C-alpha cells in the first residue's frame, strides 16, 4: 500500500501567520492518465472531512484563497497563507492514484 507521511503531526500557529504541511508518498502518485490524484481534506471537530484541494493544486469551490497546494511526484505541500481561527482542525492528505486509496496520519492545526 502507498504510505503517506505527513509532517508535522501537530502545528501550533499564531493567528495571521502562515502554516505549511508536508505530505510525502512512498510511491509516485502520477496516474497513467497523466494526472496526480493528491488531495487535501480539512476536518473540523465533530464534522465530516471536507475536501479543500484536488489533483495537487486545484482549490474547491468556496475554499478561501489563503489555502494552496503544490508539489509533484512524491512530495506535496498544503499552505495556509494567513491562519484564521476557523482553520483549526485536522488536515489530511489522501491519494487517489493507487488501490487501496490511503490517507496521511493527519496534522492537527491549533492556535497558539
Partner 1 sequence: EVQLLESGGGLVQPGGSLRLSCAASGFTFSTYDMSWVRQTPGKGLEWVSLISGSDSRAYYVDSVRGRFTISRDNSKNTLYLELNSLRAEDTAVYYCVAGSSGPRDWGQGTLVTVSS
The site for partner 1 (CB under 8 A) is made up of: 37-39, 48-51, 54-55, 60, 92, 94, 96-97, 99-103, 105-106
Calpha distance 25→4 (Å, rounded): 5
What's the grid cell of residue 104? 496521511
Q: 20 vs 102, which CB is nearer to partner 1? A: 102
Closest approach, Cβ 87 to partner 1, in A, equals 19
Q: 82 vs 101, which CB is nearer to partner 1? A: 101
Closest approach, Cβ 105 to partner 1, in A, equals 6
φ, ψ of residue 87 in degrees (nearest 5): -85, -5
What b/e readout covers 36-73, taking b as 16+ CB neighbours within 10 angstroms? bbbbbbbeeeeeebeebbbebbebeeebeeebbbebee
Q: 65 vs 85, which CB is nearer to partner 1? A: 65
Q: 49 vs 89, which CB is nearer to partner 1? A: 49
DSSP state of 46: T
Closest approach, Cβ 17 to partner 1, in A, equals 26
Amino acid at each position: 500500500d502507498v504510505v503517506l507521511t505527513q509532517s508535522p503531526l501537530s502545528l501550533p500557529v499564531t493567528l495571521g501567520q502562515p502554516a505549511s504541511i508536508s505530505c510525502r508518498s512512498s510511491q509516485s502518485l502520477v496516474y497513467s492518465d497523466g494526472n496526480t490524484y493528491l488531495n487535501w481534506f480539512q476536518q473540523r471537530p465533530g464534522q465530516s472531512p471536507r475536501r479543500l484541494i484536488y489533483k495537487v493544486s486545484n482549490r474547491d469551490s468556496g475554499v478561501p484563497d489563503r489555502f494552496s497546494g503544490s508539489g509533484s511526484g512524491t512530495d506535496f505541500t498544503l499552505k495556509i497563507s494567513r491562519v484564521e481561527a476557523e482553520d483549526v482542525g485536522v488536515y489530511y492528505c489522501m491519494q487517489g492514484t493507487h488501490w487501496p486509496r490511503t490517507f496521511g496520519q493527519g496534522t492537527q492545526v491549533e492556535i497558539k
